[in-house]
């Protein structure tokens, strides 16, 4: 069971390992959107957005619901919003540590 969980986590994080996929998730965290809305907000080609949505769908991170001739994308699990928030907090912590280190180096050189 433990190995299966580790494999799930590894596959899950691989699916998140692309800046465009993260941006798509951030947009979907604000609410459901179709491909055209995502493309417009990102300012990217449709094929690039579609490719990344395919990866996210394959890993069951997002799902699409048919609405006429459009597909509306949604986060499969609302915990993704929390995960993105925690990732931002970790980034900020690293940034604070880096600034602190640079300050110490600057103080030593003066």
**Model pLDDT for residues 79-108, shown as the tens digit of each residue:** 999 999 999 999 888 887 787 777 778 777
| Count of domains for the chain | 2
> Does residue 87 share a domain with residue 55?
no
What's the pLDDT score for residue 110? 66
Mean per-residue pLDDT of the chain? 90
Domain identity same for 72 and 82: no
42 confidence band (pLDDT: 50, 70, 90): very high
**Rounded-to-integer distance, Cα 107 and Cα 92, Å:** 22
Confidence of residue 57 (pLDDT cuts 50, 70, 90): very high
Strands 33-34 and 62-67: unpaired
For the stretch 19-34, pLDDT in tens is: 999 999 999 999 999 9
Q: Which residue has the tokens 């907000």?
A: 41
CATH of the domain at 70: 1.10.10.10
DSSP state, residue 77: -
Q: To the nearest 10°, report the CA torsion of 72, 78, 80, 81.
A: 100
Could you give the CA distance from residue 24 to residue 19 in angstroms, rounded to a whole number?
9
Task: Give the pLDDT score at 21.
Answer: 96
The reply to whether 7 and 61 lie within a common domain is yes
Q: How far apart are CA 26 and CA 97, in angstroms?
A: 25
Q: Give residue 106's domain range.
A: 78-110
């Amino acid at each position: 069971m433990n190995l299966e969980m580790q494999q799930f986590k590894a596959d899950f994080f691989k699916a998140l390992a692309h800046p465009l996929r993260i941006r798509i998730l951030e947009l979907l965290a604000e609410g459901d959107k179709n491909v055209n809305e995502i493309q417009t907000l990102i300012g990217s080609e449709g094929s690039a957005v579609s490719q990344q949505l395919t990866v996210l769908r394959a890993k069951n991170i997002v799902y699409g619901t048919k609405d006429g001739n459009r597909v509306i994308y949604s986060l499969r699990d609302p915990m993704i919003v929390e995960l993105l928030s925690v990732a931002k907090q970790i980034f900020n912590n690293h940034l604070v540590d880096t600034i602190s280190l640079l300050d110490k180096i600057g103080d030593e050189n003066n």
